[in-house]
Amino acid sequence: MTTTAEEQIRDMVTTNDVVLFMKGTASMPQCGFSSRVAGVLNYMKVTYKDVNVLEDADIRQGIKDFSDWPTIPQLYVKGEFIGGCDIVTEMTLSGELDQLFAKQGVTFDKDAADKIREANA
């Protein structure tokens, strides 16, 4: 029995604390927006699953349908859709992303998060 893209996506976002659907991979992003979000997560030392939507057209379209969000990248924390590049950037700079990670029990480097904000103040 084959699983649908929706089932695969649901499985990924429920079995991993943090999932980033992106173009490329965490170590080799294939677009600037994916690179920015992966860069934030990497810098803050967040453990996350990266899903390269360029490798699977069904997942690429499926994640847009699943979240009802038209663009990639898409960040999920504990099964909840957080947003794309602009939202993640805003949340990082405002400290909301730290609060979300702390509330959800996701380990991250608070000093690194502070450094991002200092650099962008």
| pLDDT, tens only, 75-103 | 999 999 999 999 999 999 999 999 999 99
Average pLDDT on 22-36 reads 97
* CATH fourth-level superfamily of 5-119: Glutaredoxin (3.40.30.10)
3-class DSSP state of 121: coil
85 known ligand binder: no
**Per-residue pLDDT, 13:** 97
Confidence bin at 1 (pLDDT 50/70/90): low
Residue 35 has pLDDT above 70, yes or no: yes
Distance of alpha carbon 9 from alpha carbon 7, whole angstroms? 5
Tokens encoding 38: 């992966």
Q: For the chain, give every domain's residue range.
A: 5-119
Which one-letter DSSP state was computed for residue 55? G
The set of residues, in sequence order, having a beta carbon less than 8 Å from that of 112 and lying 6+ positions away, is 43, 44, 45
Helices 57-67, 5-15: axis angle to 10 degrees equals 70
What pLDDT is stored for residue 121 in this prediction?
81
Q: What pTM, to 2 d.p., does this model score?
A: 0.95
